Amino acid sequence: MSQTRKKIRFSWPLIVLAVFYLYLSFHALSGNQGLLSWANYSDGISSLREEIDKLQGEQVILELHADQLRARHLDLDRLDEAARQNLNVSHTNEFVIWLDESP
């Protein structure tokens, strides 16, 4: 019986260390920042990059529109169109047909 106690006494640190390593490896694989979560992160990154590209395209269009509204680059056709649309003005001999604009 004393030999069994000696074996247990000398092997319990090894058992504790093995359990600790199992605990760490489990969380390294399946934790919030584990290896399995990295696959989901890469999918999320690709979808966010697509959204960034889309928003940058919209930004270019809005910057162009803002440049056209500046006094030194004033587009008279755009000014005329905006005046007719917002102020509901037209010449007496004109027919105005407004179409629904979908963004």
Most confident of 1-10, 49-58, 93-102: 49-58
Does residue 82 sit within a domain? yes
State CA 101 to chain mean position distance.
28
- pLDDT, residue 49, reads 95
Name the domain count of the chain: 1
Does residue 19 sit within a domain? no
- Kindly provide the residue ranges of all beta strands, DSSP E only, lying in 1-103, ordered along the sequence: none
Residue 89's contacts (CB-CB under 8 Å, 6 or more residues apart) are: 83
Does residue 85 sit within a domain? yes
Amino acid (1-letter code) at residue 42: S
The model's pLDDT over 20-77, given as tens digits with 9 standing for 90+, comes to: 999 998 888 887 777 778 878 888 898 999 999 999 999 999 998 888 777 777 777 8
CA neighbor of 64 nearest in space, from 80, 76, 75, 49: 75
d(CA 86, CA 67): 20
Does residue 12 sit within a domain? no
pTM, whole model, 2 decimals?
0.45
Tell me the residue range of the domain where 83 lies. 48-91
